[in-house]
Amino acid sequence: MSKSVVIAVDGTAASGKGTLAKRLAAHFGFAHLDSGALYRLTALAVLQAGGDPADPADAVRGAQTIDLSLAGDLAIRTDKVGQAASQVAAIGAVRQALLDFQRGFLASPPGGSPGAVMDGRDIGTVISPDATAKLYVDARPELRAHRRWLELKGMGIERDEQGLLAELNARDAADKSRPISPLVQAPDAVLLDTSDLSIDAAFAAALALVSPRIEGALKDRHRG
């Protein structure tokens, strides 16, 4: 079987990478996986079991017991879970426990789809270094905090915007400075700054950046 086509979308917290990844997947008819949900589900499992997200044994147990059916659940979207996700994500054994699932998803996207879009922090660097196209999404921190505030408000969760900004900054700093799989722009990833772009404009920009490679790979796949 020919290799699946992969779009890796990495970037900072609340940069809009999830929305872009979803829209790219819908556009190309690809499967989509929000890898952040795996770390958030791991964190939720640890917290629900009364464990410590910074403890490797507790965190690995959490990763082994995640319930994927809760990926759409509001319970994983709280900042408490986000912070705990960043803690479990710094543990190498947790990342290892989640690696096969992510690579399996990319190698055989669900539904027989010819490709997959995965968003996260290390997709273009560690999970799929030979991805067909890679984006690194970022935006100014104040704008990201405002977007997250709006997103949470839409879910019925009231938060103080300054508190959200502090939380995003702390999480980015932790994600960028950890020794294992830090958040870093892959050398061959294209930077997309969404600060001054509407969602539609950001999607149009993302599409223009990845389309030549994706269309080419889909044609090759068809031929091969």
What separation in angstroms does the CA of 209 have from each of 9, 136, 189? 12, 11, 10
Determine, following the binding rule CB under 6 A, whether residue 175 of this chain makes contact with ligand CDP: yes
Determine, following the binding rule CB under 6 A, whether residue 121 of this chain makes contact with ligand CDP: yes
Stretch that binds ligand CDP, among 64-72, 116-124, 135-143, 154-162 (CB under 6 A): 116-124
Q: Give the helix/strand (H/E) hosting 52.
A: none
**Helix ranges (DSSP H) in 108-180:** 141-154, 161-177
Give the pair of three-digit tokens for residue 96: 């290892």
Strand partners, 193: 138
Give the residue, chosen from 16, 36, 114, 124, that forms a contact with ligand CDP under the rule CB under 6 A. 36
Q: Which amino acid belongs to residue 157?
A: I
Within its chain, how far is the Cα of 149 from the centroid? 19
Stretch that binds ligand CDP, among 31-39, 109-117, 130-138, 193-201 (CB under 6 A): 31-39
Residue pair 117/80 in contact by the 8 Å Cβ criterion: no
Would you say 94 or 220 has its CB closer to ligand CDP?
94
Determine, following the binding rule CB under 6 A, whether residue 62 of this chain makes contact with ligand CDP: no
Would you say 25 or 89 has its CB closer to ligand CDP?
89
Give the residue, chosen from 46, 85, 152, 217, that forms a contact with ligand CDP under the rule CB under 6 A. 85
Would you say 71 or 221 has its CB closer to ligand CDP?
71
Determine, following the binding rule CB under 6 A, whether residue 134 of this chain makes contact with ligand CDP: no
Helix, coil or strand: residue 197 = coil
What CA–CA distance (Å, rounded) separates 197 from 179? 32
CA geometry: angle at 20 spanning 156 and 53, to 5°? 60
Determine, following the binding rule CB under 6 A, whether residue 32 of this chain makes contact with ligand CDP: no
Determine, following the binding rule CB under 6 A, whether residue 167 of this chain makes contact with ligand CDP: no
Determine, following the binding rule CB under 6 A, whether residue 39 of this chain makes contact with ligand CDP: yes
Which chain residues interact with ligand CDP by CB under 6 A? 13-14, 35-36, 39-40, 82, 85-86, 89, 120-123, 171, 175
